[in-house]
Structure 1
Amino acid sequence: MKVYDDKHIKNVAFVGAHGAGKTTLAETMLFEAGLINRRGTVENKNTVSDHHEIEQERETSIFATPLHTEWRNYKINILDTPGLDDFIGEIISSIRVADTIVTVLNAQHGFEIGTEIIWNYIDRYNKPTLFVVNQIDHLNADFEGSFKSIKDFVGNNAIKIQYPIKLDGAQAIIDVLKMKCYKFSPEGGKPEKLPIPDDQKELADKLHNELVEKAAENDDSLLELFFEKGTLNEDEMRQGIKAGMLRHELFPVFCVSALKDMGSGRLMGFIDNVAPAAADLPPEQSTDGTEVIRKKEAPKALFVFKTLYQPSLGQITFFKVKSGEVTVNDKLVNSRNGETEVLHQLFIMDGKKREPVQKLTAGDIGATLKLKHTETNDTLHSEGHPIAIRPIQYPATRTRRAIHAANQSEEEKLSEALKKIHSQDPTVTVEFSKELKQLILGCQGELHLAIIDWLLKNVYGIDAIMEKPKIAYRETIQRSSTANYRHKKQSGGAGQFAQVQLKIEPWYEGIEEPQGFNIRGKEEIDLEWGGKLVFYNCIVGGVIDARYLPSIKKGILEVMESGPLTRSYVRDVRVMVYDGKMHPVDSNDISFKIAGAHAFKEAFLNAKPKLLEPVQELTIKVPEELVGNVMTDLQSRRSNIIGIDSIDNYQTLKCITPTAELYGYATDLRSLTRGRATFKAVFSSFQPVPHNVQEALV
C-alpha cells in the first residue's frame, strides 16, 4: 500500500445519534472508492463496519470501527462510532484522534438528543466539524428544519454548502460552493451535472454570497481580497472554509442519501480538498506540556486510543502515529510502565479485515497485535526519547452493580475477564469493596450492562449475576455515655481477667478537650473509612498498666470496623479510659482487648447511636421545558436542591441526593426526558439517615 504523508491523510470520525445512518454512509464511501464491490446493509448484517456478532445481533453499532479509503491521492481514515451514549467511551476516543468530525443527522429528526451529548465533547476538543444531513430522499425528510436545529446549537457559523431539491420528480442537490446542480436517478450513484435551475438561481446566488463572506471572515488576506474584488474564487473559498473549520468557527452543512448513494462522492471530494488534514491541526500536547513534533524524521511516538480483545486473535491495539515513522519490528517503550514492546506486525484495519503494511507515518492510524503491556491511553515512544501524550478523559460511571460469578469457582476467571473489558473500554470500572465485600462494576447505563453481560457469556464463557450493590453506611453517636465491663474467665491453669471503665462522646473538628479527667495521653487516629477515633489515657493510680492500653484501643477499633447497629464502619468518636482493674496473674493483652471491645459496644448502644448515609452531589443538565418532571422525581428521592443555573435553553440543577436513592437513576432520567438530560454524580459527604429509614435498616 502507498505510504501517505500527514498532508495527505484525513482522519474523520463519523458521529451522530442512533439511526442517523453513519454506518451506511461509511459503507457507501468505501463502495464509491472501489474498496468493496457491493454495499452491505445493517439489516442484512453484512456491512464492513458492524462486523461484531453482538452488533449484528442488535443491528446497531457498539464499537468504534476504523476503516479506510483512498480518494484522489488522499487517504481517508474513517472511524465509524456508535450513536448511543452508553458507548460514549468509543465516541470520545474517536473524536480525540480524528482531525475532522463528520456529524451525521437524520433529515427526519435534525439535531437529536444523542447528537447534543456528542456535540459537548466535539466542542470541548475544539475539533473541525462539518454536518451531513442524511436521508434527504425520505418522505418525511425536512432539510430546512434540520439546518435550523444545527443553527440552534452552533449559531450562525453553520453555513450551507448544499441543499436538496426535487427536479423533474427526481432527487437533486444544489451545491453553492461549486454552483452546480447534481441530479440523481432513483437508484442513486453517479449524478448528472447540470446548471442550477432558473427557479433556484436567486437562492443559490444568495447562499453562495453568504458562503463567500463567511470564508473571507476567517483569513485576513482573503478579507482584503474580498473587499478588493467583491468575491472569491472557488480555491480561495476553500482556503477560507478550512481556516474557519480549524478555528472551530465555521461548520459546513452537506446533504446526502447514504442508502441511495446520493451526494457521498461530493462529500468525499470536500473531505479531500477542504477538511483539515493531520498536518493542519495544532501539535499534540504531552503530559508535561511540551509539544509533540509531527514529522516523519522526529522520534517515534504512538498514542493508543483503543484496544479490542478477540478470542481468535487476542488483543488488537489501535493507535495514531503522533510523530516519526513506525515500521514492522520497531521496539518502542511504554511511557506508563517502562516496558518495551515489539511491533511484530502493522495493519490497516477495515472492520475485521486486516491489511498488512510495512510502515506508517505521522498522522496515520493503524493497528498491531499481541502487545503484552499496553492498554488504551498509553504512549509508546522511541527508546531514549521519553514522552507521554495527554490521556483521554473519560466520563465517570453512571450505573453501578455488584457482580459475582454464578459458579463460585469462576470468580478469578470473572475478575480477569472484567480487567480485559476495562482495558478495552475505560468507561467500565471494576473495584472490590472491602467494606461491602462486593465486586462493584461501574458503567454508563442499562444497555452498557447488557453488552458487558453478553461479552462475559459469549466471549469469556462466564455466567455472571449482577445485582443492586449494598450501601456504605456509617455509624456514630449523638450523646455521651459510660460503660464498665469486667471480663473474667477461669478454666484451670492461667485465667483471663480485665476490667475497663470508659466514657465515649461524639467527636467533631474544634471540640474542646474533655473535662473532669486527668489526661495522661492522647492519640488521634485517622480512620481508613473517614472520620476519627480520639483515644485518651485517663488512668490514675496505675489501676491499669499502660502496656494494656494498646490492647483496649485494638478492641475498640475492632468494634468500629463492624458497628453495633448495621455492622457498618463507626466514625467520629472519642473515648476516655479512666478506670478499671487488673490481676497480677490472670490479666493479659487478650483480656483487655475483649474488655475494651465490650465496654465500647455497651457505651455506644447507650449513646443514642445514629446511622449516616453517603450522599452525592448531582449536577443535572436538562432542557427548560422538562425541569418540572426532573425536580418532581428528585423530590421523591429525598433530594435537596442547592442551585439552579440557566445556560441557553438548558437549566443545570445541583442537588444533594442519598446514594441509596440513585439506583437506576440513569435509566429513569433518560425515560423522563427522552434521553435529553445528562448528569454526573460526585460523592459529597455522609448525612444522618431519617429515623424511619434507620429503624428499617437496623
Structure 2
Amino acid sequence: VSKGVKSGAITPVFCGDAMLMRGMEQFLDGLAWLAPSAEEKAGEVGLDVDGNPVELQVNEGASPAAIVFKTVADPFIGKLSYVKVISGKISTESQLVNMRTGNTERIGKTVMMCGKKQEDVKYIGAGDIGAIPKLTSTNTGDTLCSPAHKVVLDGVEYPNPTLSMAIVPKNKGEEDKVAQGMLRLSEEDPTLKFTTNHETHEMVLSGLGEQHLDVAVSKLKAKFGVDITLKKPKVPYRETIRKKVQVQGRHKKQTGGHGQFGDVWIEFSPCDSDGLEFGERVVGGSVPKGFFPAVEKGLRECILKGPLAGYPVVGLSAVLYDGSYHPVDSSEMSFKMAATLAYKAGMPQANPVLLEPIGLLQATVPDANMGDIMGEVNKRRGRVLGMNPAGEEKQTVEAEVPMAEMHDFCTYVRQVTQGRGSFTFTFERYEEAPSNVAQKVIEEAKAENGDD
C-alpha cells in the first residue's frame, strides 16, 4: 500500500470526526507511514529570469525558494503569509525577492502554525511549510526567492468570479470600514474581487456563487464588525440618438453691472464614437474662436447625463455652425450655459434611445444539459452563436446575452448541471435595448431620481 501511495497508483481515504477529533491519530500515523517524504516528491521545476526551466531539489543548503499558498488577514496580528519552502531555508533577518513585484521583502519573523497557535522558529527548512507575518506586498501565489538565484515557481490558478452583488452597509457612514475589510478579505481569498463602480456609485463584490458571497459577508461581520446586505447591482446602460437635429441655445441675463449673453446654433447627429465628437464650421466670426472651448466644455459636462434615464451619452456628434455674441456681455460662462440649453432642447427631439451592454457567454456543460442551457439563454433574450465539443462528454455553448439578464445565471448553471458546468462572461458591445426593457429602465431611473 505504501509503495502504491508513493507512486500515485493508490489514493488513501481516512475517516475521522472533526468535532470529537476521533481518528486523527490514525490519520497522522497513516500520513507518516504512507506518504513519501518531501525529499522524494516535493522538488519542483521553476523558470529562471530568461524563462528557462530550472529544477529545484529539496535541499536545505541550496538558495532559498518558496511559494506563498495562503494568506490570512487578521485585524489584530495583521497579514500572515503561509509558505511552502521548496529549497534552501528561510530564516529571520533574511532578505528575499518577490518575483511578481520585484520588491525585496525583509523577513522579520518565521513561525510554525500549530492549529491557530504560532510557534516562533529560527527558520523554515526545505520541504516544510510555515508562516511569515507582515509581508506588505506579497499575495497568494507569489514566489519568494534569493536575490542571487532568481526563479519563478508555478502559482495557484484560481477560477474567475461568476456572481457579482452590490454591497450596502447596514449603518450609514461605514463605507470606508466595509471597503478596508473587503480588501483585506480579497487578499486572503483571491477568488473574491472587490471593486467600486464609479459610474453606478456602488461597491461590488464578486465571487464564485451565492454561498461564497454569504461566507464573505459573515467573515466581514466576525472579523471587522461590519454588517452589510447584498443586492442586485445596477447595469451600466448608455444613451444615444438616432436623428440629426439643429437647435439654438440662447443664454441672456441682465444684472446690475455686466450682463451675460451667449447664443449658439448646434447640429447634433449620431456617429460612431465612445462619447462626444465636437466640431465647428462657424463662418464670418459670428462666434469668436475664444469661446469654442467653452461650448465644448459645456457639452462634455452635459453628456454625462442623457435625456432618457440619466445614463452617459455615446455616439454623439455636435457641430457648432452659427450664433452671435455681445462685445461686452459675452463670456466663457455665457457660452457654456448656451451650449447646455442647446443640448437640453435638442436631445429629446433627436430620437434618443437606450443602449444596453451585451456580453459573450461561453458555457461548458455536460451533453445532457445542452437543451436546458440553450433554452435558458433564449429565455434571457440571448442569441446562441454556436456549439463546440469540449471533450469528456461536454459541449461549450457560445451566445451573446444582455448583461441585465445574467445576474443569477451562475446559480442556474450550478443547479442544472449539479456543479459540473462552468462559464465565462465578458463584455462585448452596446446594443439598442428593446422598447419594453427601455421603458422599465427609464421608469426605475425616474423613480430613483425622484427619491433623490
**Structures share a fold, TM > 0.5?**
yes
In 1, Cα distance between equivalents of 2:49 and 2:185: 26
Per-residue deviation at 1:463? 0.8
- Structure 2: distance between partners of 1:275 and 1:654: 46
Partner of 2:393: 649
* One of 615, 619, 641 as aligned partner of 2:358: 615
1:376 maps to which of 105, 119, 140: 140
How many angstroms apart in 2 are the aligned matches of 1:45 and 1:415? 38
1:97-144 C-alpha deviation (Å, 9 max, x unpaired): xxxxxxxxxxxxxxxxxxxxxxxxxxxxxxxxxxxxxxxxxxxxxxxx
CA deviation string 1:342-373 (max 9, x = no partner): 33332333542445433333443221223233
Give the aligned residue type for 2:424. K
Kept in 1: contact 2:276–2:303 (CA 8 A): no
Please report how far the alpha carbon of residue 600 of structure 1 lies from its aligned counterpart in structure 2 after TM superposition. Answer: 2.3
Using the alignment, how far apart are the partners of 2:238 and 2:22 within structure 1?
53
In structure 2, give the amino acid aligned to 1:316. L
Question: What is the CA-CA distance between 1:604 and the residue it aligns to?
Answer: 2.0
Amino acid in the other structure paired with 1:294: L
Structure 1 position 670 matched with structure 2 position 414: yes
Of 30, 35, 41, 2:17 maps to 41
Task: Name the residue aligned to 1:438.
Answer: 202
TM-score of the aligned structures, taking structure 2 as reference length: 0.87
Residue matched to 1:545: 288
Q: 1:294 aligns with which of 51, 56, 66?
A: 56
Seen in structure 2, the aligned counterparts of structure 1 residues 580 and 406 have a Cα distance that, compared at 3 Å, is same
> Which residue in the other structure is 1:695 paired with?
439
Q: Which of 313, 322, 342 is equivalent to 1:599?
A: 342
Instruction: Report the equivalent of 1:34.
Output: none
Mapped contact 2:299–2:340 kept (Cα < 8 A) = yes
Work out which of the two has the higher radius of gyration on C-alpha atoms and give 1 or 2: 1
Aligned 1:529-608 pairs, distance under 5 A: 531-608=274-351
Q: Which amino acid aligns with 1:320?
A: K
Distance in 2 between the 1:563 and 1:408 partners?
A: 29
User: Retained in 2: the 8 A contact 1:397–1:429?
Assistant: yes
Distance 1:493 1:579, change over 3 A: same
Distance in 2, matches of 1:275 and 1:362, equals 9
Cα distance in 2 for partners of 1:268, 1:620 equals: 43
Taking a change above 3 Å as real, the CA distance of residues 438 and 47 of structure 1, as seen in their structure-2 partners, is farther
Question: For 1:315, which of 59, 68, 79 is the aligned residue?
Answer: 79
- Corresponding letter in the other structure for 2:244: S
Q: Distance in 2 between matches of 1:667 and 1:445?
A: 7
Q: Given that residues 48 and 351 in structure 1 are in contact (C-alpha distance below 8 angstroms), is that contact kept between their aligned partners in structure 2?
A: no
Q: Does 1:360 align with 2:124?
A: yes
**Residue matched to 1:211:** none
Q: One-letter code of the match for 1:447?
A: Q
Q: Is the 8 A contact 2:109 2:132 kept in 1?
A: yes
- Contact 1:616 1:657 (8 Å CA) reproduced: yes
3-state SS of 1:569 partner: coil
TM-score in terms of structure 1 length: 0.57
Classify 1:275/1:629 alpha carbon distance in 2 versus 1 (closer, same or farther; 3 Å).
Answer: farther
Secondary structure of residue in 2 paired with 1:284 = strand
Find the partner of 1:470 among 210, 234, 239.
Answer: 234
Q: Where in structure 2 are there 5+ consecutive unaligned residues?
A: 1-5, 443-452
Answer whether contact 2:275 2:313 (CA < 8 A) is retained. Answer: no
Residues 276, 629 of structure 1: alpha-carbon distance in 2 compared, 3 angstrom cutoff = farther
Q: What letter matches 2:286 in structure 1?
A: V
* Alpha-carbon displacement from aligned partner over 1:125-167 (angstroms, at most 9, x marks no partner): xxxxxxxxxxxxxxxxxxxxxxxxxxxxxxxxxxxxxxxxxxx
Deviation at residue 443 of structure 1 after TM alignment: 0.9
> Conserved in 1, the CA contact under 8 Å of 2:49 and 2:150?
no
Higher fraction of strand = 2
Tell me, in whole angstroms, the C-alpha distance in 1 between the residues paired with 2:82 and 2:37: 27
Question: How far is the alpha carbon of 1:378 from its aligned partner?
Answer: 2.8
Q: How many residues align?
A: 431
1:416 corresponds to which residue?
180
For 2:159, the equivalent position in structure 1 comes to: 395
SS of the residue corresponding to residue 47 of structure 2 reads: coil
Q: Where does residue 84 of structure 1 map in the other structure? A: none
Alignment of 1:481-560 (within 5 A): 481-508=245-272, 531-560=274-303
Secondary structure of 1:309's partner? Answer: strand
Looking at structure 1, the residues matched to 253 and 166 of structure 2 have their Cα atoms a distance apart, in angstroms, of: 43
Q: Structure 1 639/333 Cα, relative in aligned 2: closer, same or farther at 3 Å?
A: same
Kept in 2: contact 1:293–1:323 (CA 8 A):
no
Q: How far is 1:545 from its partner?
A: 0.6
Judged with a 3 Å threshold, the aligned counterparts in structure 2 of structure 1 residues 47 and 366 are, in CA distance, closer, same or farther, namely farther
| 3-state SS of 2:174 partner | helix
Mapping for residues 63-142 of structure 1, pairs under 5 Å: none
Deviation (angstroms), 1:535: 1.4
Deviation track 1:9-56 (CA, whole Å, cap 9, x = no partner) reads x9x9xx9xxxxx97xx3xx6xxxxxxxxxxx613x265899xxxxxxx
CA distance in 1, matches of 2:124, 2:98: 18
Q: Which amino acid aligns with 1:550?
A: P
Displacement, 1:501?
0.5
Contact 1:544 1:580 in 2 (8 A): yes
8 Å CA contact 2:46–2:151 kept in 1: the answer is no
Find the aligned partners of 2:392 and 2:115 in 1 and give their Cα distance.
Answer: 40
TM-superposition CA deviations, 1:439-460 (whole Å, max 9, x none): 1111111011111110111111
Tell me by how many angstroms 1:566 deviates.
Answer: 1.4
Give CA deviations for 1:419-439 in whole Å, capped at 9, x if unaligned: 100110111111111111111
Match of 1:284 in 2: 46
Distance 2:179 2:22 in 1: 33
